[in-house]
Amino acid sequence: MISNIDHIAIAVHDLEKALAQFSVLTGASDEQIRIEEVPSEKVRVAFITIGNSRIELIESMETESPIAKFLEKRGEGLHHIALETTDLEAETARTEQAGISPLSAPSSGAGKKKIVFFNPKDTNRVLIEFVQKM
């Protein structure tokens, strides 16, 4: 069952600059911000917590990463919407049965969460991610 919008992710060229802008926009304090690297995805991310959800700013760490390719092709902007679930495998199977295909097998993501992305061709051109706390 999907329980929450976990985060909305925005691809950015300069994480520090974007974080400064979004901190002003949201009025976020230092306690609401967490920065980490996700080597498996070749990105640095900053999460800004707002209530039960977060804004995730994503910066590529390598020129050949998926985010670098996204930024090159589309520029900065909305990258994906992440939905929280307590059973990633069951929700993935449910959506697959309905014809919505995952892009890969579940893997480890930021915040020590298990993640899976779905093909935007199946979701009105919006990249959707399921996340499960581990």
The pTM for the full model equals 0.91
Q: For residue range 1-41, list pLDDT tens digits in order.
A: 999 999 999 999 999 999 999 999 999 999 999 999 999 88
Residue 70 is predicted with a pLDDT of 95
Element (H, E) at 114: strand 113-118
**Cα of 23 vs its chain's centroid, Å:** 18
Give the pLDDT band of residue 111 (cuts 50, 70, 90): confident
Q: From 3.10.180.10, 3.40.50.300, 3.20.20.70, 3.90.25.10, which CATH number describes the 2-133 domain? A: 3.10.180.10
What's the average model confidence in pLDDT over 81-101? 95
